[in-house]
Structure 1
Amino acid sequence: KPYGIPVEKSFLEHREKSVVLEELGLAPDKFTVLLMGGSFGAGNIKDTLKELLEIDRDFQIIVITGRNETLKEKLEKSLEKYTIDKNISILGFTQDMNDILSAVDIIVSKPGGLTTTECLLKELPMIIPYYIPGQEEENMDFLSNCGAALRTSKKFTISVLLKVLIDNPTRMELLKNNIKSIKKQNTAEDIANLVSNILGY
């Protein structure tokens, strides 16, 4: 049964976007990119952030390094060397993923199972620049073939893909509509009902 990963209903509730972004020191009305690589900060986040900083568009960035405190320190130190024209908020492990996913416009991340599930529920388009071979590669193939995410390549870099989405809001809407067509809304309830039916309750 392709029910998907169960997520609490409370995950669908979130605080106002403007409140969340202002708490992070960011503008409430600016295009916002979330960069992350899972709870342990996997993926080449440092190089990806550098690439994002070089894109000549007006947007702001949230970076989540998860439990990888060393990565967080390295990123903060590396930013001191640059003249930056973008607002950046770097967070370690956070309990506010629900609010943050609802406050950003796009996520740049590896396609882990839980990350993918949560992004689909939030109708949040993904750009996928890296993945762990195996399940995550299959997730990437599924999402890109469904038109719910964009995968990078030598020709279609993060810079190219992000510029297209910022310059063409209709492309963003297309991604979101494709996500709506595949997301699983009541997974936990459906699984519970399946178990109940099997047990004859």
Structure 2
Amino acid sequence: MGTTAATTGNNHGAERVLILSAGVGSGHNSAAAAVQQACEGRADIAEVQVLDVLQASTSLYRDVLGKGYFVLVEETPWLVEWGYDLSDAPFRRRGPLDPWTQANAMPVVSAIKRFQPTAIVCTHFLPAQLVATLIIRGSIDARTAVVTTDYDFQGLWLTSAFHKLFLAREEGRVQLTALGLPVDRVAATGIPIRPQPVEVPERDATAPPMLLISAGASGGDYALAVVRQTMHLRSSFTATIVCGRNDELRRSIESVVGSDDRYTVHGFTTEMPQLLRQADLFVGKPGGLSASECMAAGLPMVLVNPIPGQEVRNGDYLMEQGAAVRCNTAATIGWKIDQILQEPGKLQRMQEAARRVGRPDAARDVVSWLLDGPARPLIVTRAAQKTIFSASARRIVASDLTGSGALARLVDPADDSTVALLRAEEVDDLQHRYAHADGGLLLRRDESIVTLRRRTERLLRAVLRGDETLRVRVEPLGTSSVPTPE
């Protein structure tokens, strides 16, 4: 667990932020590191820790989820795509964690309780699901953020309890609010990335375009094919190639380029932010973090060998915005790059599009919106989850649901935040027990045996937190189902 103590004059009442990630690829941990850096700049944060939940679990669990994923990507990409689409339905996965995950989560739960956070940021859906369970059980009392790390929203990230859900783009926010999530609990901030360099050496306008070629998390033969293709370009260029910690790949590429002074080959480097600012065109995979860093640097992309599912969808978005082109076969990569470099003004137009997409302040916005936001979590009842899942399968937006199956929200009038999302029939049950003279509800802690649905009772107790009572108003979802532009 990485720890940083922020410098403050008075730590009384200061925040303790725990960032939970999972080392499946590098993107989730990179986002966690970016959020950590954003925390270090705030005087109201006394301490921040980062925990990779896979590193705290058994080696078998870590290998299955981490290494196993990339084996599937390499050997059976069609299976990865099938699994992505299958799990994309909102709230397909409901209820408690499976026994194997629960057993491996015990060290993480212990770490959370030892640290006693006031805020938790999850940059992977595994810890997000775990934290939601702890909120429902009343085991933790911390503001919780779920931070997605790809441009398209994926259903596995939806949980039954959280304070704020942060998305990469506005379309994702529209998607979730159409499904039924309240607009006050969903924000489009972009994907958290490391701070951008303040000063970057000015490029020589007469110099040939610089290509930045990244091997990505898996690297290997495809990266070598990319380099070979660039050697046949008709356009003038220079190329910087980053191989990461893949020493075998680095040696292979150095052997291929030989003494060609157009090429500079790196292994692992901490200078990636500077390289992104110096380059004119990026060639590599559209991972969420890589793409976000490129866009923040105004660096358009030539997309190669995307992972089925999230990376393909990332690429679709970037191409839609005019900030990328995709190569579907290694044989055309050189031709595709030439098309960009030889068409007058095309590279400049792509760079302008990338700058429009970029969200360099996403990490700072995530921290600010979480810590300055509502103290009570949003609780989504099991019935509401089933409704959202069913409506999505029938391609019905939540605001069109009617009768007992419609969705409603409970609003805390103290800050106008939605504290629960439930079905209309569940509201009727609550009205019988907690009706208030003002037309709303007066929720109260009641340990007696009641006729109220047991699951609903348990979930709504999480809303009360340490309070004995809470007045809320009931609103139909339609009054808050259409998002306004941010």
TM-score grouping bracket, smaller chain normalisation: 0.7 to 0.9
Q: TM-score, normalised by structure 1?
A: 0.83
For residue 159 of structure 1, report the CA deviation from its aligned partner.
2.3
CA separation in 2, counterparts of 1:75 and 1:57?
Answer: 21
C-alpha displacement of 1:50:
0.5
| Secondary structure class of the residue paired with 1:157 | helix
Q: Residue 33 of structure 1 aligns to a residue in which SS?
A: strand
Does the 8 A contact of 1:107 with 1:124 survive in 2? Answer: yes
Paired with 1:29 and 1:141, the residues of 2 have a C-alpha distance of 31
* Distance (Å, rounded) in 2 between the aligned partners of 1:121 and 1:106: 13
CA contact (8 A) 1:128 1:150 kept: yes
Q: Is 1:142 aligned with 2:320?
A: no
CA separation in 1, counterparts of 2:197 and 2:324?
A: 20
Larger Rg: 1 or 2?
2
Structure-2 separation of matches of 1:51 and 1:88:
13
SS in 1 for 2:337: helix
Would you say the 8 A contact 1:127–1:152 is kept in 2? Answer: yes
Match of 1:115 in 2: 290
What does residue range 121-132 of structure 1 map to in structure 2 within 5 Å? Answer: 121-132=296-307
Q: 1:36/1:95 Cα in 2 relative to 1: closer, same or farther (>3 Å)? A: same
Q: Is the counterpart of residue 180 in structure 1 residue 358 in structure 2?
A: no
Counterpart in 2 of 1:4?
Answer: 190
> 3-state SS of the aligned residue for 1:108?
strand
Assess, with a 3 A threshold, how the Cα gap between structure 1 residues 114 and 14 changes in structure 2: closer, same or farther.
farther
SS at match of 2:252: helix
Residue 50 of structure 1 aligns to which amino acid in structure 2?
A: R
Aligned equivalent of 2:229, options 51, 54, 73: 51
User: Residue type of the partner of 1:56?
Assistant: R
Mapping of residues 47-126 of structure 1, within 5 Å: 47-80=225-258, 84=260, 87-126=262-301
SS for the counterpart of 1:114 is helix
- Distance in 1 between the 2:262 and 2:309 partners? 35
Distance (Å, rounded) in 1 between the aligned partners of 2:198 and 2:235: 31
Q: CA deviation at 1:101?
A: 0.7
CA distance in 2, matches of 1:41, 1:14: 30
Question: Structure 2: where are the runs of 5+ without partners?
Answer: 1-186, 377-414, 416-486
* CA shift for structure 1 position 199: 2.8
Among candidates 289, 308, 333, match of residue 158 of structure 1: 333
8 Å CA contact 1:101, 1:119 repeated in 2: yes
8 Å CA contact retained: 2:214, 2:241: yes
Q: Which residue of 2 aligns with 1:16?
A: 201
Give the drift of 1:35.
Answer: 0.8
Distance (whole Å) between structure 1 residues aligned to residue 199 and residue 273 of structure 2: 6
Answer yes or no: is 1:171 the counterpart of 2:356. no
For residues 96 and 131 of structure 1, the distance between their equivalents in structure 2, rounded to whole angstroms, comes to 24
* Distance change in 2, residues 1:38/1:175 (3 Å): same
| Contact 1:39-1:93 within 8 A present in 2 as well | no
Q: Distance in 2 between matches of 1:137 and 1:123?
A: 21
- String of CA shifts for 1:25-53, please: whole Å, max 9, x gaps: xxx82211111122553571111110100
Checking the alignment, whether the CA contact within 8 Å between 2:192 and 2:363 is kept in structure 1 is yes
Distance in 1 between the 2:345 and 2:281 partners?
A: 14
Partners of 2:213 and 2:251 lie apart in 1 by: 16
TM-align CA RMSD: 2.7
> Which residue of structure 2 aligns with residue 24 of structure 1?
none
Q: Is the CA contact (8 Å cut-off) linking 2:286 and 2:306 kept in structure 1?
A: yes
Counterpart position of 1:25:
none
Distance in 2 of aligned mates of 1:158 and 1:71: 19
Which range is displaced more, 126-135 or 64-73? 126-135
Contact 1:35–1:109 (8 Å) recurs in 2? yes
Secondary structure of 2:188 counterpart:
coil
- For this pair of structures, how many residues does the alignment match? 190
Equivalent-residue separation in structure 2 for 1:158 and 1:142 (angstroms) = 20
In the alignment, what sits opposite 1:34?
A: 212
How far apart, in 2, do the equivalents of 1:14 and 1:38 lie? 26
Q: TM-score, normalised by structure 2?
A: 0.36
Alpha-carbon distance change, 67 to 39 in structure 1, aligned in 2, over 3 angstroms: farther
* Amino acid aligned to 1:37: A
CA distance in 2, matches of 1:185, 1:63: 24
Report the secondary structure of 2:374's partner residue: helix
Matched, 1:133 2:282: no
In structure 2, the residue matched to 1:192 is 367
TM-superposed CA distance for 1:161, in Å, is 2.4
State whether residues 197 and 274 of structure 2, in contact with CA within 8 Å, keep that contact through their aligned partners in structure 1.
Answer: no
Q: CA deviation at 1:120?
A: 0.5
8 Å CA contact retained: 2:250, 2:265 = yes
One-letter identity of the residue aligned with 1:138: R
The alpha-carbon distance between structure 1 residues 130 and 106, as it changes in their structure 2 partners (threshold 3 A), is: same
Between the aligned partners of 1:57 and 1:184, the Cα distance in structure 2 is: 31
CA distance in 2, matches of 1:126, 1:41: 17
**Deviation string for 1:109-138 (max 9, x for gaps)?**
101111111000001010012111121111
What percent of counterpart residues are identical?
Answer: 24
